Structure 1
Amino acid sequence: MSYDDEAVDVRLLALAWVGRHLARGERVVATETLHGGITAEMRRLTVGAPDGATRHLVLRTFADPFFAAQAGELLNREAGVLALLAGTGVPAPVPVAVDPAAAHCEYPSLLMTHLPGRTVLEDRGLEARVPLLARQLVAIHAVRPAERPRPYTAWTTADAVVPPDGADAVAWAAAADVIRKPAPPYEGRFLHRDFHPGNVLFDVTPPGQAGPPGPAGLRITGVVDWVETSWGPADLDVAHCSSNLAMLHGPEWGLRFAEAYEEAGGVPATAAGDRLYWRLLDALAFSTEVRSVVRPWQEAGRTELTTRTVEGRLDAYVTALLDTLG
């Protein structure tokens, strides 16, 4: 396997490992860093064939020491989930090779197929995208694996919640009291567990390029980042996407997504108090994580989303949940 100068930003051992999983005569001719991830480095690899044809693969690398220490479990889980999803209608990458213990690469890595499309985080066209997101999540929850994934893990506790500066202290105390209670009973579902616009690819024309305006023909081409896949209540996936939409676009869109999920045939908890528990359990987990989600959004072009702005939206969303479901 040989490679061009444009490919050298992939570490040499990883590049050699990738080469062993290419067809005879293929080589990596270019790479592109994919922005938007928080836990791992993501690169799109352009693979060239002797006849001039090209194709793309994606390399996920856990280089950060904190996440590299957990990479064995994370990458094995994701590779297994991707293999499982290959037999469903859920548009997910197909695993090509995995090196969870960095036996061949500089860092733990996963090589997978590349899906067309791009993430869409701008406000324009959101009304058309929300129903598609909801229908896609219903389809994910309909997956019935032969072997269930691990049980879900809560990402915060009542005592770990830190209200943002200037937040409604009374509302946040009430919200923390809601999740202090035992988790409501639920019917288990196959969960993505990190489903949000940053992990969904759409077939759309990038800003500034020629193409038909508006949502005509808009469709989802892929769902990525399956390292957190779990078994648990459908409400948790609904809650996570709702929290992200509320922070990205405004609290009203967090509330709207939950409605769209039901309109698409999803079945959330029957009792309003149960729905409130799951949605607050997710929303309050962002109380100490706002900075980490703002950075990839800014890198993707949403530079107006400052930490203070997103904290204000999170505060408004928590208050809206209490007013709506409390």
Structure 2
Amino acid sequence: MQFKDYYAVLGVARDASADEIKKAFRKLARKYHPDVSKEKDAEARMKDVNEAYAVLSDPEKRAAYDQLSQGYQPGQDFRPPPDWDAGFEFSGRGFTAEEAAGFSDFFEQLFGRAGMGGRGFAYARHGGRAQGEDHHAKVLLDLEDAFTGATRQITLRVPQMDAQGRVLLTTRTLNVKIPKGIKAGQVIRLAGQGAPGLGGGPAGDLLLEVQFKPHPRFRVEGRDLYMTLPVAPWEAALGAVVSVDLPGGAVKVRIPPGAQSGRQLRVRGKGIPAEPPGDLLLTLEVVLPSADTPAARQFYERMAQELAFDPRQGS
């Protein structure tokens, strides 16, 4: 997928004001609108202009795009980093599926997913008042918090428009209670932390979508944990009971005799704690000691003579 420079599409500077972006869009719309344009590529150009304006005219999406696009050039190969949008607070304004369908794969990758301004929240009426919009944000937590529960300080970046019509990023910090057993994709609702209501109506809520930071040892799917477990050759050959350190404490795991690298063991109930808890899935990796001493080399030589083992037999 190629990177798209929305500023270049509209022909404006990166620090252009909202008015400058609107004027550029109107000028290009008059030039490329298929109903009036005589340009051969008018339809394709108008599609690009509409897409660029859809992002740059929205302070929230523009702020996120500005951060992501630093260092990229038009046409450069591009893949958005995982969880690049984490920590941005978005309001309920978004694109319908029909609106987003006419845009490029680049747009779809960045803004076409749920959680990136893709949900619409209506104002709820209370007599003459209106409840504020719900806001939402993706937050990255440590896996350990799911095992113990915790209260964490979360800082969100909030895009706003200044008096000159330029986007500024402000921040706000919240103390958030992380429930034990939470899993990726689960939402924490903070009542009254969304947009203020109208006419004295109640404020909306802030919805925090939880994802986990990359962990050096574990991969998480739902509430199941996956990890590679190194074992010594004698543990794999003879069987053994080994200790595996988990975020919730150590657990004893039995290695069956004759285990080979790649074998997967399931330890039920030792994943993320919940009702029901997840499982721990271990992929065995037999690790050989180095033959870097005379004694170790002699040991390997004796094994080669006495075991008469050919790992390629039958392959």
| TM-score interval, normalised by the smaller of the two chains | under 0.3
Bigger proportion of residues as strand? 2
Which has the larger share of helix? 1
Question: Which has the higher relative contact order, 1 or 2, with Cα contacts under 8 A spaced 6 or more apart?
Answer: 1
TM-score under structure 2 normalisation? 0.21
TM-score with structure 1 length normalisation?
0.20
